[in-house]
Amino acid sequence: MGAESQEWHEFGRALRKLRNGHRITQRQLGELIGWADSMVSRWESGTLTPSAEAIEALDPALNAGGKLISLGLHAAVADSNRLRKGTVEAKASTRDEDDSMERRRLMRDAAVVAVGGAMAPALAALTDAWQVSQPPISGASVSQAMIDDWEHAADIHEQRARFDPPATILAALAVDYTDMAPHLGRAQPDSVQRDLAHAAARHAALIGGKWFDLGNRREAHRWWTQARLLSEQSGDNLLASWLRGWEAGYRRQAPDEDLDTVLLVTREACHLAGGTPSVSRVAALSEEAKVLVMLGRHAEAITALRQAEETYERLPSGNSRQGRALWHDRTLIHTFTGDVKRAEDARATAEKLYPTGHRSAILLSLYGAALHTRTDPAEGAQQALRFLEALPAERRDTRVMSASRLVINALPDKAHGLPAARELRALVSNRSA
């Protein structure tokens, strides 16, 4: 398929830069991934769209950490948007159907990394067949089973996002959101529209988070705006509160973000949650505490944390996930305030609650290194460096780098010249760039 678009030219430039950085020729790269060097040349020039299988092979071969997958997905989205806006001379009904099918094909091609190249066509066909077999709700273009499935899918994506690389999760999200998108643009009964918007809002918020993890702030904000609109359409204030707090949780970790603006987002989340104890209110208060402590407003942060703890205590039993999150949040907040005893106690408890490979377990290890720098700066920096170097490149996302900067910032001035500190700073700076 021909490319010749700004997005595929951007992909090509990134591919060339990565290849040159590894000091290998187009022929050598082609041999490495099993493709002809002429194909590599056309991908780099932006005149040919690489297949999903090719992108899946290129990214790890060049240690791109998901960058090529991200750019390929972005280009596929742009292709599908252009396709949807074109063909104005065709009949509307035929155009909508054809565009929807082609849009889904493009997105699934880009998202093939989520399921593996050989399986993707079969899974796509089975999904389509299953959806067609479900009787639609009266007056709607979707069935209740489809809506329930998308809600369940959001649960799965959220769970896997704690373990899998951002690009893999983004690819899987793209498949489901692309299936939902045509229905969001059609007239539906009010109750169906609310339920559909509810599922789509959760997907949109996750998509924003994964773009953020991959370092694409523009796409992240675009999708968080979409999540806001959809959550309002759903009429579920607790969902809207949860998603605002989620957005704030990502944004506070960007080094150039205005934390005062992020604080307003957390307070909007608190307002939407209302005064009745709920998981959303606990999460919003805890997020407010984390933003406050990063602003240096330590007393206010501790007050907000205590409010979150008191609210959690009033919840019905069985909210173990939010209780787990509170231990993580206590660790971060007390690390910032310099209360080493409380931070270490909280971290010791939190580490028992998260399995190996969980994102929070990764962050807790880096918080521990930050605490270690207070008594042994050299070992603390070395500890963080060893941990980061052992972590697969595709998992060194924006939030992991934020926790790594916490280690750097905790180092006393005289320790910044230590070899481990310099290497750690260079590794974080390189990822941030």
> For 150-195, what is each residue's pLDDT tens digit?
999 999 999 888 888 887 788 788 878 888 988 998 999 999 999 9
- Does residue 101 surpass a pLDDT of 80? no
Please, which residues bridge with residue 48 across strands?
A: 2
Let me know whether 203 and 321 are in one domain: no
Q: Which pLDDT does position 95 carry in this prediction?
A: 43
Does the residue 241 lie in any domain? no
The pLDDT, as a whole number, for residue 26 is: 92
pTM for the whole structure: 0.74
- Could you tell me if 12 and 113 lie in one domain? yes
**Where does a domain end: 313, 336, 351?**
351
Q: Predicted confidence band at 34 (pLDDT cuts at 50, 70, 90)? A: confident
**Block residue for tokens 């209302």:** 274
Share of the chain above pLDDT 90, in %: 45
Check whether residue 25 and residue 68 sit in a common domain. Answer: yes
Q: How far separated are the first and last CA of the chain, in Å rounded?
A: 32
CATH of the domain at 91: 1.10.260.40
**253 within some domain:** no
- Do 169 and 161 meet the contact criterion of CB atoms below 8 Å apart? yes
Q: Could you tell me if 292 and 305 lie in one domain?
A: yes
Judge whether residue 202 has pLDDT over 70.
Answer: yes
What average pLDDT does range 378-407 have in this prediction? 87
**Sign of the torsion formed by the C-alpha atoms of 226, 328, 302 and 337:** negative
Residue 114 counted as domain residue: yes
CA 85 – CA 360 distance, rounded (Å): 42
Phi-psi region of 134 (alpha: psi -120 to 50; beta: other; left: phi over 0): beta
Task: Give the residue, 77 or 368, on which the prediction is more confident.
Answer: 368
Of 317, 351, 385, the residue that ends a domain is 351
**Spatial contact of 68 and 59, defined as CB atoms under 8 Å apart:** yes
Q: At what angle do helices 26-33 and 37-45 cross, to 10 degrees?
A: 110
Q: Which long-range contacts (CB under 8 A, 24 or more apart) does 98-103 make?
A: 100/182, 103/178, 103/181, 103/182
**How sure is the predictor about 89, in pLDDT bands with cuts at 50, 70 and 90?**
very low
Whether residues 364 and 341 fall in one domain: no
Same domain as 364, residue 346: no
Q: What is the 3-state secondary structure (H, E, C) of the chain?
A: CECCCHHHHHHHHHHHHHHHHCCCCHHHHHHHHCCCHHHHHHHHHCCECCCHHHHHHHHHHCCCCCHHHHHHHHHHHHHHHHHHHCCCCCCHHHHHHHHHHHHHHHHHHHCHHHCCCCCHHHHHHHHHHHHHHCCCCCCCCCCHHHHHHHHHHHHHHHHHCCCCCHHHHHHHHHHHHHHHHHHHCCCCCHHHHHHHHHHHHHHHHHHHHHHHHCCCHHHHHHHHHHHHHHHHHHCCHHHHHHHHHHHHHHHCCCCCCCHHHHHHHHHHHHHHHCCCCCHHHHHHHHHHHHHHHHCCCHHHHHHHHHHHHHHHHCCCCCCHHHHHHHHHHHHHHHHHHCCHHHHHHHHHHHHHHCCCCCHHHHHHHHHHHHHHCCCCHHHHHHHHHHHHHHCCHHHCCHHHHHHHHHHHHHCCHHHCCCHHHHHHHHHHHHHHC
Same domain, yes or no, for 319 and 417? no
Q: What pLDDT, on the 0 to 100 scale, is given for residue 249?
A: 94
Q: Give ∠ CA 190-77-62 in degrees, rounded to 5.
A: 140
139 located within any domain: no
Q: How confident is the model at residue 196 (pLDDT cuts 50, 70, 90)?
A: very high
Domain total in the chain: 4
- Residues 298-327 have pLDDT tens digits of 999 999 999 999 999 998 875 677 888 999
* pLDDT digits 0-9 by tens, 281-298: 999 999 999 999 999 999
238 burial type by CB count under 10 A (0-12 exposed, 13-18 middle, 19+ buried): middle
pLDDT number for residue 151: 94
Say which residue, 79 or 394, is predicted with more confidence: 394
Verify that 31 and 12 share a domain, yes or no.
yes
Q: Could you tell me which residue, 85 or 201, shows the higher pLDDT?
A: 201
Note the pLDDT of residue 80.
55
Looking at the structure, do residues 173 and 79 belong to the same domain, yes or no? no
Regarding whether 433 and 365 lie in a shared domain, the answer is yes
pLDDT value, residue 431: 56
Structure confidence at residue 330 as a pLDDT band (50, 70, 90): very high
Assigned domain for 251 exists: no
Q: Note whether 311 and 392 are same-domain residues.
A: no
Are 111 and 14 found together in one domain?
yes
**240 assigned to some structural domain:** no
**Whole-angstrom Cα distance, residue 331 to residue 344?**
7
* The pair of three-digit structure tokens given for residue 293, joined into one six-digit string: 């402590």
What pLDDT was estimated at residue 7?
84
Q: What backbone phi and psi angles, to 5 degrees, belong to 24?
A: -125, 155
Banded model confidence at residue 68, pLDDT cuts 50, 70, 90: confident
* pLDDT class of 110 with cuts at 50, 70, 90: very low
As given in the structure block, the two tokens for residue 184 are: 């969001």
For 50-72, what is the mean pLDDT?
Answer: 80
CA distances from 372 to 38, 335, 363, 401, 407 (A): 52, 10, 14, 18, 9
Contacts of 289 (CB under 8 A, 6+ apart): 301, 302, 304, 305, 308, 329, 333
Q: 308: domain range?
A: 258-351
pLDDT of 179 reads 85
Q: Residue 121's pLDDT is what?
A: 54
Q: What is the pLDDT of residue 430?
A: 67
Which of the two residues, 427 and 85, has the higher pLDDT score?
A: 427
**In-domain check, residue 248:** no
The residue among 171, 201, 235 that closes a domain is 235
**247 found inside a domain:** no
